[in-house]
Amino acid sequence: MKVQDIESFFREAFSDRVFSSAERKALSKILLEEPLQDHERDLLRGRMFEIAEEGLVDGRDRPVLEWLRAAWRMLLPDENTAADTGDSAVFFSPGDACLEAIRSFIYRASRTLDICVFTISDDRISEEIIAAHRRKIQVRIITDDEKLFDTGSDIDKLARAGLDIRVDRTAYHMHHKFAIADGKVALTGSYNWTRSAAQHNEENLLITRETGIITAYARQFDKMWDEMKPYV
């Protein structure tokens, strides 16, 4: 059984809002016969939140789901919490490991957040950035000028939310993908901040607290910030 089939199983199981004993036994049998890879489990974990969100009828239930999502991010596997203890951590896609690592990275910022990425079109990441801005986190975003016009680009939405955004002035691409939180943690890798990166692409993400790396990225960000033009 493929990931898509298990997702369909979850959707059917959710239809009556009860995960019955028979359904649990059936799923256990499926997983025993055809064990999932780690990235497939990550993908399905993310899908479960989407299924639940689609099923919300009463808006008053949404804070419950958001609480669960935030608490779930705080309990990511050890490879993510390592980034808070002086080590580095790596994540891979497809699957939601990279996505949730980015969202957790943004969620945990307490003062500043500098984001320098080629494109942003995954609403789940954009909403996390806007939430950080509303918590009075100082957020700066650098992105590529041509990607602003891609279908699904969230840059205009972020700008309308009041975020400070700058774009490159050249005919070439601003192709970086990195971020710095509180001047203490850096995030980088090939992972594009798009849904297709989570769902289909073979991508990677690194989170580190190594001082030399963070200093180099911060210096580059400030240099580019001064060189680039404000988004209007």
pLDDT digits (tens, 9 = 90+) for 124-145: 999 999 999 999 999 999 999 9
Q: What is the pLDDT of residue 216?
A: 96
- CA 66 to chain centroid, in Å, comes to 15
Distance CA(185)–CA(180), nearest Å, equals: 6
Q: How confident is the model at residue 43 (pLDDT cuts 50, 70, 90)?
A: low
Calculate the average pLDDT of the chain: 85
Strands 164-167 and 138-143: what pairing? Answer: parallel
Chain length of the chain: 232
| Order of strands, sheet of 164-167, starting from the edge strand that comes earlier in the sequence | 89-93, 203-208, 185-188, 177-181, 112-117, 138-143, 164-167, 229-230
The predicted model gives 206-232 an average pLDDT of 94
| Residues with a known catalytic role | 175, 177, 182
Higher pLDDT: 93 or 118? It is 118
Q: Are 93 and 37 in contact (CB under 8 A)?
A: no
pLDDT of residue 66: 72
Reference 81, options 106, 111, 101; nearest CA is 101
By the 8 A CB rule, do 128 and 107 touch? yes
| Separation between Cα atoms, residue 113 and residue 185, nearest integer Å | 10
Model confidence pLDDT, tens digit, residues 135-185: 999 999 999 998 888 888 999 999 999 999 999 988 899 999 999 999 999
Section 115-127 average pLDDT: 94
Asked if the model's pLDDT at residue 65 lies above 70, the reply is yes
